[in-house]
Chains A and B, each alone.
Chain A
Amino acid sequence: MNKKTLFMVMAVILIGVFAITGCGQQTEKSPAGTDSDVIKIGVYEPLTGASAAGGQMTLEGIKLANEMYPEVLGKKIELVIEDNKTDKTEAANAVSRLIEKHEVSAIIGSYGSSLSMGGGPVARDAGVPVVGCSPTNPLVTLDNEYYFRVCFIDPFQGKVVAKYAYESLGAKTAAIIMDASNDYSVGLSNFFKKAFIEFTGDENCIVAELKYKTGDQDFTGQLTSIKELKPDVVFAPGNYGESAILIKQARELGIESVFMGGDTWEAPEFLDIGEAAVEGAIFSTHYTEEAPVTEVSGEFLKAFKEKYSGNEANAFAALGFDAYLVVRDAIERAGSADPQAIRDALAETKGFKGATGIITLDENGDAEKSAVIKKVEGGKFVFVGVVDPE
């Protein structure tokens, strides 16, 4: 018994020593790594956990951009990648580690607004700029002058879909089904509602507002109450999985309204799960292959296919690609690797040509750029049109 406790204590101390020396070695290496011939850009993305797929897709885009444009100011750009495990506490830790241990000049990340909000305050305190790829929650850049993003935000996307529904589809009534546990879905729905009321000038144009929760499989309750109301469109932004099942069940119940959503629908899984039911579904997204917005889009698409052998490029990879290029552009304009100088240069980003469109960062650090409308047709995503910001 006594021997065992002693052994245990020794084991604990050993593990402790191992852990501490592990940290120690890293710190010693760090100053040597910050030679003036290397500029470090940190990346924190969910590479494991619930959002791993999104994080990996984004990382593919960032890595591709790094391969195509590996240098700035005559120095090599080194990517330092940290996993945040789809965990807010870890996200904050990861950003802190990138700043303190790796002394990065700027940071890219993260997929998922919640994770970005975890990392934001740390970067702000340390004065290191962060460029988000796809966190669309307006709160991410709110009151944080060090956080920027290359995607459009939920309010804009909600408005774009409402505009398209009213002007191009001639819709007069709409029903909203939102995923109440998903900030993205809640944000989009609310701004769709505001914009749609504004466009139609009719206070009662939203005939129903229903909620569900991420992970739900049965939506017949919500859908039955919509069936009698016969709205022109049903706006149901949410994760592709739930949305596809929802649309499938709606068609089974005989609901004929047009289903509309946001950029999350642009996933092959959406088509696989929804099959014939999702035909005709319309959504807004970041970019399109059919009509490359800029010359960079074409370049990106070609390189992506080459590097990831035939895989279709997706919006997240494109946004990751753009985030890297925007940071690189800012470093170039700043003329130094000083985080503060990079931040100031980032804030002045105007008309930057990225793969997802022409990016201008506004006073909040949000990107002003055009959205693309796509439709499901013949089991494929088909480009319908472009909606510009006002």
Chain B
Amino acid sequence: MWNKKNLYTGISLILFIIFIYWADNNLDPYKMRILILCGIYVILALSLNLVNGFTGLFSLGTAGFMAVGAYTCALLTMSPEMKEMAFFLEPLIWPLNQIQIPFLPALIISGLVSAVIGFLIAFPVLRLKGDYLAIATLGFSEILRVVIINAQSITNGALGLKGIPKYTTVYWSWGLALLTIYLMVNLINSSYGRALRAIREDETAAQVMGINLFYHKITAFTISAFLAGIGGALQGNLIRTVDPTMYVFQLTFQILLIVVLGGIGSITGSVIAAVIITVLMEALRVVESPMTIGPLHIPGISGMRMVVFSLLLMVVILFYQQGFMGQREFSWDWLSRKGRDNEQTIGS
């Protein structure tokens, strides 16, 4: 049975890769852009879910870590000529103005810088719990943004950066998303992951069982910051321009929404919700364009898709208080119980 499951996972993985390859060759740039965004949001949702869902720490710092990742990656991959042009108010400090490195090392460095900052922030912040922790992380995320605004000679301040070379493809975004899913599944099923879940359920009990609370929390927080940094770097590279106004609280909220809708503490849920919300956000543009239904002509009303979207959210919240998945995960056992094919094959 165990081998059979692995076989299923392997087959669906291959099918998914074939799908990505097909999409890359057949879909127009607009659809590809949405597909790439889906992958990026999967990474970001999993990053937030690791802390919020699995460790039970209500953190709202994602936007700050994304900003750090995006800026690091942008500064490392932009060409020196472009940097000179963009930094027309105050020149960029040495040695950043000379550096240009390939995408992969830049991505890894972005994740690491973000992780280091996450690690440093975690020390004071993780002494807090619940709502206080949420406010403190939100505050730190905002502080990171203010630092970026004022560090004109490193980040170009409010003017932002422009001319980031194009690297992010669907292979990067979904490749890294699949890698993140793999990492998360293994992490959660390891003794380390079980310790995290024990902390979530009851901190005191976990501590009594001999779990080092601070060590586990800080590691979870740092890994989450690393993933958020990677996600932010990918997103910044996809849009090819970054500026501080992108990283306001709304961005964190958008990712939190994905996590909550998918189910706090479910990898499958985060993946499904990330894809659905990203696709739906664009698909619902249809309701904003002018329509003619029979004799009825409706002029386009902007903001209509937010209305439809919030209605959908209300339905979900009413009927699935735990989100789509609650804390459940996708498993091949679903097939053996009820024969039902499922396109969401990237689970365990």
Q: Would you call A88 and B239 a contact (CB within 8 A)?
A: yes
Q: Compute how far the CA of A9 lies from the CA of B335 in the bound complex, rounded to whole angstroms.
A: 12
> Of A138-146, A169-177, A225-233, A352-360, which binds chain B?
A138-146
Chain A residue nearest to B337 in the complex (CB):
A2
Whole-angstrom CA separation of A140 from B186 in the bound complex: 44
| Per-residue contact bits, chain A 15-48, to B (CB 8 Å; 1 contact, 0 not) | 1101110110110000000000000000000011
Complex Cα–Cα for A48 and B235 (A): 22
* A121-B86 in contact given A2-B337, A126-B29, A183-B158 (Cβ < 8 Å): no
* Residues of chain B with a CB closer than 8 A to A224's CB: none
Bound together, the chains give a CA A122 to CA B246 distance in angstroms of: 18
Is A273 located at the chain interface by the 8 A CB criterion?
A: no
A303 at the interface (CB under 8 A from B): no
CB of A222 closer than 8 Å to a CB of B:
no
Q: Is the CB of A97 within 8 A of B282?
A: yes
B150 at the interface (CB under 8 A from A): yes
CA distance A181 to B289 in the complex (A): 34
A residues within 8 A CB of B102?
Answer: none
Taking the closest CB of chain B, its distance from the CB of A348, in whole angstroms, is 24
For the residues of B in contact with A, the DSSP-based class is helix
- Within 8 Å CB of B286, what residues of A? 22, 25-26
Contact with B along A81-109 (1 / 0, CB 8 A): 11100011110110011011100000000
Question: Is B166 within 8 A of A121, CB to CB?
Answer: yes
A48/B303 contact (C-beta < 8 A), A139-B86, A181-B158 known: yes
Q: Are B158 and A92 in contact, with the CB atoms below 8 A? A: no
B157 smallest CB distance to A (angstroms): 6
Which one of B152, B159, B246, B342 has the greatest number of beta carbons of chain A within 10 Å? Answer: B159
Rounded to whole angstroms, the CA-CA distance of A49 and B82 in the bound complex is: 31
| Chain B residues positioned under 8 Å from A8 (CB to CB) | 320, 324-325
Digitize B67-93: 1 where CB-to-A-CB distance is under 8 Å, 0 elsewhere.
Answer: 000000000000000100110110000
Q: Which of B146, B276, B280, B282 has the most CB of A within 10 A?
A: B282
* A143/B82 contact (C-beta < 8 A), A9-B340, A101-B30, A186-B159 known: yes
Q: Which of A112-120, A241-249, A306-314, A328-336 contacts B (4 or more CB under 8 A)?
A: A112-120
Q: Given A92-B239, A180-B149, answer yes or no on A139-B29 (Cβ-Cβ < 8 Å).
A: no
B240 within 8 A of A: yes
- Let me know if B340 and A117 touch, CB within 8 A: no
Chain B residue nearest in CB terms to A96:
B30
Do A81 and B33 touch (CB < 8 A)?
no
Q: Which of A2, A19, A114, A121 contacts B160 (CB 8 A)?
A: A114
Note all chain B residues with C-beta closer than 8 A to A15.
276, 280, 312
A117: chain B residues at CB < 8 Å are 160, 162, 241, 243
A120 and B241 within 8 A (CB): yes
The residue from B37, B160, B324 contacting A89, defined by CB atoms under 8 A apart:
B37
* B85 x A143 contact (CB < 8 A): yes
| Contact between chains at B30 and A121 (CB < 8 Å) | no
> B33–A183 contact, CB under 8 A?
no
B245 within 8 A of A: yes
* A87 contact set on B, CB distance < 8 A: 250
**Interface pair A137/B149, CB less than 8 Å apart:** no
- The answer to whether B276 touches A139, judged by C-beta atoms less than 8 angstroms apart, is no
How far does the Cβ of A387 sit from chain B's closest Cβ, in whole Å?
Answer: 22
What residues of A have a CB within 8 angstroms of the CB of B246 in the complex?
88-89, 114
Q: Which of A133-154 contact B (CB under 8 A)?
A: 137-139, 142-143
A to B CB contacts below 8 Å, 26 in the list = A5-B334, A8-B320, A12-B272, A12-B344, A15-B280, A16-B343, A19-B276, A22-B284, A26-B286, A47-B303, A88-B245, A89-B37, A89-B239, A92-B238, A92-B239, A96-B29, A121-B240, A122-B29, A122-B33, A139-B86, A142-B163, A179-B158, A186-B158, A187-B159, A190-B89, A211-B150
- Extra contacts besides A15-B276, A88-B245, A137-B159 (17): CB < 8 Å: A8-B324, A12-B344, A16-B276, A16-B343, A19-B276, A83-B302, A88-B239, A88-B243, A92-B33, A96-B29, A96-B33, A99-B30, A100-B30, A117-B162, A122-B33, A179-B158, A186-B89
